[in-house]
């Protein structure tokens, strides 16, 4: 299993902390002959560390290229499909598709379409639960707009949740990005919004499970 680079420091720190806690358990429990409790504590610490390692897993995915499709930027479940007005940059009505990631999902993020990064901004903010309607505008988040070769624009936001406390984005204004290339990482539970032209064909529904870089969310109208 390949581990994403964003997890190296956390995995090492967590491992060291687990070893320290185990050492304390050992000195406290062995002297009292509480061997059963020591085994239980050891098993719990080991499972916790394995969970942290697995959180930063980096799966192998076939990179799909289709200029007419907008792919899911993350693993998770669709929680919003509605027409909204974007007042941050595009200033027009767009079809919003939001995907919620639980702490058990892969938390890598992928670029939903190919093109040039026209806009990027990091917004500090709150840490409301990621499915809260106001999380798109009030939570800590990043906003990226990619302009495709056809001139169509797609906006996507990485949004921190109640547990998530760090968003990583590799997007830089002016750079060309490939569809379904890695664009960042959100640590410990969150959500990604994708805003596409409102005349796009919606391909998913509320509650649908999606796979990042593999599941198409919408089909863009041909021009």
Picking from 40, 39, 46, 61, the residue whose alpha carbon sits closest to that of residue 14 is: 46
**Chain mean position to CA 7:** 14
Give exposure, 130-141, as e/b (b: 16+ Cβ within 10 Å): beeeebbeebbb
- Which residue is catalytic, options 98, 135, 136, 190? 190
Q: At what angle do helices 8-30 and 35-55 cross, to 10 degrees?
A: 180
- 72 a catalytic residue: no
In the chain, the N- to C-terminal Cα span, in Å, equals 42
- Which residues are identified as catalytic? 190
């Amino acid at each position: 299993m390949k581990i994403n680079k964003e997890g190296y420091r956390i995995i090492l720190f967590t491992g060291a902390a687990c070893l320290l806690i185990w050492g304390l358990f050992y000195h406290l429990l062995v002297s009292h002959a509480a061997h059963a409790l020591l085994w239980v504590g050891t098993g719990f610490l080991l499972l916790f560390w394995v969970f942290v390692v697995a959180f930063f897993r980096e799966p192998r995915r076939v990179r799909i290229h289709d200029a007419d499709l907008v792919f899911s930027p993350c693993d998770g479940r669709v929680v919003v499909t509605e027409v909204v007005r974007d007042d941050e940059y595009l200033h027009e009505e767009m079809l919003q598709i939001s995907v919620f990631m639980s702490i058990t999902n892969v938390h890598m993020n992928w670029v939903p379409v190919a093109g040039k990064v026209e806009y990027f901004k990091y917004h500090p903010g709150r840490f409301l639960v990621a499915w809260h309607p106001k999380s798109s505008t009030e939570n800590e988040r990043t906003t990226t707009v990619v302009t495709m070769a056809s001139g169509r624009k797609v906006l996507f936001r990485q949004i921190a949740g109640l547990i998530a406390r760090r968003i990583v984005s590799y997007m830089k204004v002016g750079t060309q990005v490939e569809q379904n290339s890695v664009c960042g990482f959100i640590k410990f539970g969150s959500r990604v919004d994708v805003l596409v032209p409102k005349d796009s064909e919606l391909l998913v529904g509320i509650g649908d499970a999606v796979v990042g870089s593999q599941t198409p969310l919408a089909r863009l109208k041909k021009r």
